[in-house]
Amino acid sequence: MTAERIDGKAFAARLRERVGEMAGQFEQWSGRKAGLAVVLVGEDPASQVYVRSKHKATVAAGMESFEHRLPADTSETDLMALVDQLNRDEAVDGILVQLPLPDHLDEQAVIAAISPNKDVDGFHVTNAGRLAVGQSGFVPCTPLGCIMLLTDRLGDLSGLEAVVIGRSNIVGKPMAQLLLDANATVTIAHSRTKDLPGVVKRADIVVAAVGRAEMVKAEWLKDGATVIDVGINRLPPAEGEEKGRLVGDVDYSGAESVAGAITPVPGGVGPMTIAVLLRNTLVAAYRNAGLDVPESL
């Protein structure tokens, strides 16, 4: 049996199209475009690539993109002043401070300064708390994208065994909360978990978010499991290659013959993150304007 390939790229394209349509409606109803402010401190090459693609996607969805690029030696006071200005700016619905920040800046303090109602990353403790107690807030983009792919494929997740590998605040913990809200039986596994292969073997749903290339092996998986691979790891270049291949946290070629369905890397979870960011920004715009959020978002 060969697993079905879960096409995150196609799903994300459809979501972006819906967001684009709803962004047009928002503009008609409110008289302004929804706006996303992205703050990049320093010149980390990967962050520059992400910020550029966020900008392009925001504009393509018919929303306003405000980019703020600050030098690597920006003081916390200056960064906080910018965040404060964006909190008060009515044209800005969502604020995203690109992580990681340079070492001299306190990430938690900066995130805490963002208004929870504009925190489209869902990183603020208020939004983490809202998710934990089942109130509506903002959910981090990557896990929200994963749950969308899972419910699209499986429908009702009630009673399914889900194993999340990784316990980060950005993916693992919110992922577990979302699965729990969907009535799955959830285990969070991590680097200290004993017998990880045995734990994974129980799972109808595996979400791998550890950042270790091809760590999850085919033999660990239950027959027919649905596998969501959040990892993006670059292998060392093979002979004749300029750059190494991008691979996930799951050994895709092995897993393909055991899993029921699996997300590829690239083209699985990755494209969902930006699509959900646009979705969260538009949700923020509707809420900030006092309008009902459309169901289709």
Output DSSP code: residue 219. Answer: G
41 binds ligand GUN (CB under 6 A): no
Which of 33, 93, 98, 177 is flagged as catalytic? Answer: 98
Check: CB of residue 270 under 8 Å from CB of residue 233.
Answer: no
Per the annotation, the verdict on 121 as an active-site residue is: yes
- Residues numbered 216 to 255 that lie near ligand GUN (CB under 6 A) are none
For ligand GUN, the binding residue among 141, 216, 255, 272 (CB under 6 A) is 141
**CB atoms inside a 10 Å sphere around CB 62:** 19
CA pair distance 38, 96, nearest whole angstrom = 5
Cα–Cα dist 39/26, whole Å = 24
Cβ closer to ligand GUN: 27 or 44?
44
Q: How far is the CB of 100 from ligand GUN (least distance, A)?
A: 7
Among 21, 25, 69, 99, which residue interacts with ligand GUN (rule: CB under 6 A)? 99
* Residue 121 interacts with ligand GUN (CB under 6 A): yes or no: yes
CA 150/CA 154 separation, integer angstroms = 6
Total number of residues that touch ligand GUN (CB under 6 A): 8
Find the shortest distance in angstroms from Cβ 138 to ligand GUN. 12
Q: How many CB atoms lie within 10 A of CB 10?
A: 11
Do residues 32 and 91 lie in contact, with contact meaning Cβ atoms separated by under 8 Å?
A: yes
> Which residue stretch of 96-104, 144-152, 188-196, 246-254 sits at the interface with ligand GUN (rule: CB under 6 A)?
96-104
Examine residue 199 and tell whether it contacts ligand GUN (CB under 6 A). no
Task: For residue 86, state whether it binds ligand GUN (rule: CB under 6 A).
Answer: no
User: At a CB cut-off of 8 Å and minimum separation 6, what does 113 contact?
Assistant: 80, 83, 84, 87
Selected binder of ligand GUN within 22, 96, 105, 196 (CB under 6 A): 96
H helix or E strand, kind and range, residue 94: strand 94-97
54 is catalytic: yes
Applying CB under 6 A, the residues found at the interface with ligand GUN are 50, 96-99, 121, 141, 273
Enumerate the active-site residues.
Answer: 54, 98, 121
